A and B are shown apart, each in its own frame.
Chain A
Amino acid sequence: MISFIARRVAAAVPVLLVVAVLVFLLLRLTPGDPAAILAGDAASTEQIARIRAELGLERPILVQFGIWFGHLLRGDLGQSFYYKMQVSTLIGQRLEPTLSLAALTIAIAVLVAVPLGVLAAWRFGGWLDRALMAFSVLGFSVPVFVLAYVLIYLFSLRLGLLPVQGYQRLADGAWPWLQHLLLPSITLSVIYIALISRVTRASVIEALGEDYIRTARAKGLPEARVLIRHALANAAVPIVTVIGVGVALLIGGVVVTESVYAIPGLGRLTVDAVLARDFPTIQGVILFFSFVYVLVNLLVDLSYVVLDPRIRY
């Protein structure tokens, strides 16, 4: 067990290293002076010279990477010239809204998608099944910002039920927080629901074909228990896997959703940084998001041990 965990963690390290190299190369392989790009359009010659000396830009590229990577390991993502502060501080400040949005989205998605998927698999080929499959194609196709505007139009402008946009900190009360996050999370959860329900359906259908299901039914177990304890439990690994893989979709969705709903999170920060061509911040956000993505999928890998006792590495 411990050796399994150690090996999974060890396998994630080279991936993160490649990510770091790619983010590093992003600037070096661009025509133009990296120091000038990093300093921003308004920088003075002295500022550019200082950055050049700091990053060792006159030295070989491997040394440059060493310097940059050393900073990275100490959590130093550089200085944002646009926001005039450390990128790591900036990311810390923007974390809460994004984390809230992501957590609520995943909660909604799992609570809706898993039961739907199980029911569709149970009545395989029935109306619910066909409706769910049609919905999932639709869910993959309707762009998140189009859906966002349809929901704003219906629930905020027409019905006046929820605020149009903005964010309230959790510290200022749970209800305003939830009120502002509800529409964005529903928007963002649609594609996730499509993904998770599809995989849940497929893996539960597969599990339902197994001998132990027939045995469970023959024992006279109630159907709900057969579905949840026997079929769903055995279908858990692919479901958890797709939740992990879907985090990439979620991160992409966060960038768009936060822009539409004016939520001051990491997604909004990404777009603002790109518009300002604030490269230290762009690099920092990409590294942060990729790190989270790899970490989530590492946790998913580790959860297999709990979910499926047969898995012994």
Chain B
Amino acid sequence: MLRSRVLANWSVRIGAGILALLVVVAIAAPWLGTVDPSLFDAGSRDLLPGATGEITTLEGETLRHRFLMGSDSFGRDIYSRVIYGTRVSLVVGVATALLALAFGILCGLGAGYLRRLDGPLMRFMDGVMAIPAILIAIALVALWRGSILTVVIAIAVPEIPRVTRLVRSLVLSIREEPYVEAAVALGTPTTKILFGHILPNCIAPLLVQGTFTCAFAILVEAILSFLGVGLPPDIPTWGNIMAEGRVQFVSYPHNVFFPGLFLAVTVLAVNILGDGLRDTLDPKLAKRV
């Protein structure tokens, strides 16, 4: 019943459809007419989209290659880099959402159910939320230097308080439900009440929150890479491609526009999916916003 309502929602269908396509692109990247994204050729620098040029493989072999999206100032194929960039964005988005959810759920359950933990934990979370999210991420990446793992953690940290607040508010209302009272009266251990009775009833809003966190994470990863403080430049990410392309933006705007388009469409798809899920799974929230 609920499942069919979710699947009947057009926002869910469109968002999930585009995302499914992107997942296929990410997995099938090597077979989509791409070359290794790190390959370059001095003779194929700054080609316009659609131009044909040469590219040298790692074995030193020279291939004829059609540069669908042109090439950058090193003579690398933008199309291949953009396609492989899909992998990084999706991995960072999903991993960040899962990490933020995991820690947020733990903190939220603790704050909502164990009253003594509530005050100090939530004051701490208020403090974290008072620092703009991007600044936390930038500062953490600056400390640890960029890798996929550090970038994921750095983006997840400022998102944890949001999840915590959500879970805490859910727990506060769910703990008053008769089935929780019954479980307490039966002497059910606290961990079982938390994870067996309360958490399953938080799934719908958490799914919605997780989707928005995923969109945010993809966006912030691109911003960090674009500013030059994110993933190292040898990893093809949309932000990195744009950062390299911006120097020549006036003459070769496509180096910025192609990765930018992929980034915008991906974030849009995740947000549309989130809106659809919110409308169908969490009508109370839908009315508020």
Contact = CB atoms under 8 A, between A and B. Distances in A.
Interface of A: 14-19, 21-23, 26-27, 30, 137-138, 140-146, 149-150, 152-153, 157, 164, 198-199, 202, 248-249, 251-252, 255-256, 259-260, 270-271, 274-275, 277, 279, 282, 285-286, 289-290, 293-294
Contact of A141 (B136, B228, B264): B264
Contact of B267 (A21, A23, A141): A141
B143 interface: yes
Identify the 7 closest CB pairs spanning chains A and B, nearest first: A18-B127, A146-B260, A252-B134, A141-B268, A251-B132, A141-B267, A274-B142
Nearest to B272: A137
B131 A286 contact: yes
Interface in B259-288: 260-261, 263-264, 267-268, 271-272, 275, 288
5 contacts: A22-B128, A149-B249, A271-B227, A286-B136, A293-B131
Nearest to B256: A149
Nearest to A260: B246
Interface in B140-178: 140-144
Interface stretch (B67-75, B100-108, B218-226): B218-226
B132 A282 contact: no
Interface of B: 123-124, 126-128, 130-136, 138-144, 215, 219, 222-223, 226-229, 242, 246, 249-250, 253, 256-257, 260-261, 263-264, 267-268, 271-272, 275, 288-289
B120 to A, nearest CB: 10
Q: Is the interface of B mostly helix, strand, loop or mixed?
A: helix
Q: Is the interface of A mostly helix, strand, loop or mixed?
A: helix
B223 A137 contact: no
A15 to B, nearest CB: 5
B252 to A, nearest CB: 11
A142 B142 contact: no
Contacts of B228: 271, 275
B134 A255 contact: yes
Contacts of A14: 123, 126-127
